[in-house]
Amino acid sequence: TPADLIIAVDGPAASGKGTIALRLAQYYGLPHLDTGLLYRAVGLGVLDRGGELGDAALAERVARALRPSDLTDIPRLTDRGAGEAASRVAGHPGVRADLLDLQTRFARQPGGAVLDGRDIGTVIAPDASAKLFVTASPEVRARRRWLQLTARGETIAFDDMLADILKRDARDAGRGAAPMVQADDAALLDTTDMDIEAAFDAARRIVETSRAR
């Protein structure tokens, strides 16, 4: 219904979209789905079966068999390799199609929902009440992700982290199926010089302005 509040939060890796989405969900009392976890679980599922990430048929079988219990091992799902694997399987149109229904149903539940990913405002919820495209400079994003992974004991050089981020940006923006792109009606939120609190405040203002329309 028009009263439902659907918030779409898209953007590149480590832009802060997940943190913002979670904070908005808490603030508005809405359920939140990090859609990146779905692609991460599919990528890991392919690797766990000893398969190749380029094998579209296998990735589709994994996507169709995905269960909630595949989304519970957050440390493993959010490690460096899983992000890379996710962006490889996310390029298969069949995988995206298999994950579509679950995401649209989540977005359309009574009251609304907050989803974050790459194609929420463009494909999953084009009719969202508010759309944000969250960005930050590649250097700042690499630093954020480096701090995150290093704090968890992963060893990685900053330059390798930056190279990872740039490669993933190019792959996600360059693919044919639902590429990462700012929706025409999405508000751009550049968090390069913002801490989490400032980014959340700016996001909340964008949501309030959008839903008032």
Burial 64-95, CB ≥16 within 10 A → b, else e: eebeeebeeeeeebbbeebbbbbbbbbbbebb
Q: Which stretch binds ligand CDP (CB under 6 A): 17-25, 50-58, 64-72, 152-160?
A: 17-25
Is 16 marked as a binding-site residue?
Answer: yes
Q: Would you state the structure tokens that stand for residue 31, as one six-digit string?
A: 């359920």
Out of 7, 16, 25, 210, the only residue in the binding site for ligand CDP (CB under 6 A) is 16
Per-residue binding string, ligand CDP, 114-153, x by CB under 6 A, is ---xxx------------------------x---x-----
Q: Nearest-CB residue to ligand CDP?
A: 36
Is 11 marked as a binding-site residue?
Answer: yes
Q: Which stretch binds ligand CDP (CB under 6 A): 12-20, 45-53, 106-114, 156-164?
A: 12-20
Ramachandran region, residue 136 (left: φ > 0; alpha: ψ -120 to 50; beta: rest): beta
160 phi/psi in degrees, rounded to 5: -70, -35
Q: Does 13 interact with ligand CDP (rule: CB under 6 A)?
A: yes
| CB closer to ligand CDP out of 3 and 159 | 159
Secondary structure class of 5 (helix, strand, coil): strand
Fill in the amino acid letter for 48. D
In the chain, which ranges are continuous DSSP H helix? 17-28, 36-48, 56-64, 74-77, 80-89, 93-107, 138-151, 158-174, 196-212
Place of tokens 């009574």: 110
Out of 33, 39, 98, 131, the only residue in the binding site for ligand CDP (CB under 6 A) is 39
Out of 87, 129, 135, 210, the only residue in the binding site for ligand CDP (CB under 6 A) is 87
Is 15 marked as a binding-site residue?
Answer: yes
Q: Let me know if 157 is exposed, middle or buried by CB neighbors in 10 A (0-12, 13-18, 19+).
A: exposed
Min separation Cβ 101 and ligand CDP, Å: 14
Report the binding-site residues for ATP: 11-19
> Residue numbers of the site for ligand CDP (CB under 6 A)?
11, 13-19, 35-36, 39-40, 83, 86-87, 90, 117-119, 144, 148, 168, 172, 191, 194-196, 199
Report the binding-site residues: 11-19
